[in-house]
Amino acid sequence: MNEQLTSTFNTQAVISYVRRRRPEAVPLLLQGLEQTLGLTMEETEALLCHPGRWVPQEVYCEMLRRAREDILEDPRAPYRLFFEALTFHNWGPLKTLFLRLMGSPRSVIRAAPWLIRRFTRSVERVWASELTDSSCLLHLVWKPQAALSHDNCLAIMGALASLPLRWGSPPATVVEEACFFEGHPATVLRLSWTPHTWRLRLRGAFRGVNAGRARFLVDSLNEHARQVELLTEQSREMSRALAQEQRRFQALAENISLGMAFLDSRGRFLYSNPALSQMFGYSRQQLTDLDTWRGLAYPDPQTRRRVEQAWREDSAAGEGAISQRTFRVRCADGQDKDVLLRAGFLAEGERFLLMEDVTMRLAAQERLGRSEALMRAVLEGSPDAVLVLDQEGRVLMANRAAQEVLSFREPMAGKPWLELLPPERRSWGQSLWEWVRQGKVAREELELPLAGQEGQGVFEIMVVSLEGGVVIINLRDITHRDRLEKERQKAARLAGVVELAGTAAHELNQPLTSLLACSEMMGLYQEVPDLQRQAVRIRQDTLRLAGLVERFGRIVRYETKEYLPGRRIIDLDKAAAPKEEPPDHY
């Protein structure tokens, strides 16, 4: 016969125990085992519930594991189920008579090596030591089978603990001193039981044990023990959770920057955290009750009466309500602080206080208000049109100049800024908006209709995106400046023309005068040499004029010199570029 088999008595014990505790979990206990056994689900359950068949060892060990981990979630489930299985099992007349004739657990333990080798396929060797009338050590060496585990040790321990019940004695105490599956040579179990007198042996031999009474007592005892364990575990969990919550609350209360205090129904301080003492300088010994606190914090009688009246009004709100008020509190060093007080009412008349120092916050809000008022005054007084836009391009604020420049009579707040532009400028405005939303600064000039005037005005627009998505648009009217710039440029061009004309008159006057004189002299002379001499002079003056014209063509910069007092002409020597030399020809 295969050594990897075990009796279905063991599987029947597991199924019976689960059916009594968790009947709905029996399908989960048997799920998938039909594939291992090659049977249907009904045939598998019938086989595993039969008291005298054999099944693979791994099936039985898997059932023990499922009962312990997945169904009952009880690490000692194998012990309990075999204790009940051996207690409630009907051994039949011959086996019952045999156990009674054994007389005591000691006699059974002495025969245990033979019995275990006879009825189990999992134990390789077993022996007893230190055997007395009330205790012994039992050593078990298990066979090297992969399916075996510590669950099998627990099952043996439960079976051994039920033995004294056969003679009407209390169950034995079984303690595991070493486990074979934890690396020890053998599993060592220490058993102790109530010693059997001759009277108990005779009563057990002739009367036996009331099995119904034993079943009821064992069930009641196990169920009571189970409930006690559950309640104890729940109590431990609740105690741990409560202790953890207490530690969390203490850490929060001791390290929070807010002043915190709890008061009883009579107004006495139950607790105040260190932040409260640090905030106001009063020690915990000084904060005995609410009246003492009011006397210290509100020395002004009028303020104290106002605080007491507010406290009475808030107390009328009842349990669970939280009030919030700001008062000026006198500190131990004589300074005054603005404090935001939050008061809440708990059960049984208890109350709590949360105090936050808002002195710096209120001062900052006041400074911010003054800054906003100053900034608004500056914007309203600015001659430039200023628009403040949000991330969606809607107007948050616009000054009076913007209203006038854009000729918009209605309030601008909340309107898209593109609608403020002329229709022909809206596509340009959309491109400008996309450019600025990329984090770039836009600065351009554009023409817009002048408010109350005819024609177009020239405006310089600067658009910048600030942190937080706010966009500032500044429109400056530069129409007058643009006109002056054009006139200046016109005057500059006219001055250049005048200076160039003066230069031409100055430079060309001498060659032209010489030409005129030579032509007149040629009319007077009759001799050929004289005429030739005048012709040479005319040629020289002509070349001189050609050179002047060529120099005029090489003017590349604006350089002048004083010609007459208060009058300047072009300086050809400095204004003309150097003449390029012709290339040499060889």
In tens, the pLDDT along 564-573 reads 666 666 665 6
197/215 same-domain check = no
102/199 same-domain check = yes
In tens, the pLDDT along 288-311 reads 888 888 888 888 888 888 888 888
Q: Residue 83 pLDDT more than 80? A: yes
Number of domains into which the chain is organized = 6
Percentage of the chain beyond pLDDT 90 is 5
87/198 same-domain check = yes
108/203 same-domain check = yes
Angle between helices 57-65 and 150-161 (to 10 degrees): 80
Residue 160 tokens read as 């051994």
Span 225-236, average pLDDT: 65
Domain CATH number, residue 101: 3.90.1520.10
Average pLDDT, the chain: 78
Domain limits for position 249: 210-254
Tell me which DSSP letter residue 576 carries.
Answer: B
Sheet holding 187-192, edge to edge: 123-129, 135-142, 187-192, 173-178
Question: Measured over all CA atoms, what is the biggest interatomic distance in the chain, rounded to whole angstroms?
Answer: 190
Please check whether residue 370 lies inside any domain of the structure.
Answer: no
Minimum mean pLDDT range among 172-176, 398-402, 430-434 = 398-402
Give the domain-ending residue among 425, 450, 477. 477
- Write down the pLDDT at residue 63: 92
Measured distance CA(341)–CA(352) in Å, rounded? 10
491/552 same-domain check = yes
pTM for this model (two decimals): 0.40
- Write down the pLDDT at residue 384: 82
Name residue 312's amino acid: R
289/250 same-domain check = no
Q: Which residue has the higher pLDDT, 359 or 546?
A: 359
Backbone angles phi, psi at 553, to 5 degrees: -70, -15
386/466 same-domain check = yes
Place of tokens 């010609």: 563
Domain CATH number, residue 299: 3.30.450.20
359/316 same-domain check = yes
Please check whether residue 29 lies inside any domain of the structure.
Answer: yes
Measured distance CA(332)–CA(330) in Å, rounded? 7
67/146 same-domain check = no
Q: Which residue has the higher pLDDT, 391 or 486?
A: 391
51/102 same-domain check = no
Give the domain-ending residue among 477, 508, 541. 477
Number of alpha carbons in the 13 Å side-chain half-sphere of residue 232:
6
Q: Residue 182 pLDDT more than 70? A: yes
Q: Residue 205 pLDDT more than 80? A: no
Measured distance CA(193)–CA(171) in Å, rounded? 7
463/565 same-domain check = no
Please check whether residue 354 lies inside any domain of the structure.
Answer: yes
334/433 same-domain check = no
With cut-offs at 50, 70 and 90, classify the pLDDT of residue 187: very high
In tens, the pLDDT along 165-180 reads 777 677 888 899 999 9
Residues in CB range of 416: below 8 A, 6 or more apart = 392, 393, 394, 395
Pairing mode, strands 322-330 and 269-272: unpaired
Place of tokens 């209605």: 410
Measured distance CA(107)–CA(86) in Å, rounded? 18
Residue 294 tokens read as 């009011």
Span 41-67, average pLDDT: 89
Strand segments, DSSP code E, in 118-193 are: 123-129, 135-142, 173-178, 187-192
Backbone angles phi, psi at 54, to 5 degrees: -130, 140
Measured distance CA(294)–CA(143) in Å, rounded? 82
Residues in CB range of 289: below 8 A, 6 or more apart = 263, 266, 267, 268, 269
Give the domain-ending residue among 477, 496, 512. 477
The answer to whether 475 and 405 have CB atoms below 8 angstroms apart is: yes
Measured distance CA(104)–CA(132) in Å, rounded? 11
Please check whether residue 318 lies inside any domain of the structure.
Answer: yes
In tens, the pLDDT along 133-148 reads 889 999 999 988 888 9
In tens, the pLDDT along 515-563 reads 777 777 776 776 777 777 777 777 777 777 766 666 666 665 666 666 6
Please check whether residue 586 lies inside any domain of the structure.
Answer: no
Please check whether residue 552 lies inside any domain of the structure.
Answer: yes
Minimum mean pLDDT range among 185-199, 365-379, 428-442, 563-577 = 563-577
Q: Residue 118 pLDDT more than 60? A: yes
Its sign, for the CA torsion 545, 546, 552, 554, is negative
Please check whether residue 584 lies inside any domain of the structure.
Answer: no
Please check whether residue 580 lies inside any domain of the structure.
Answer: no
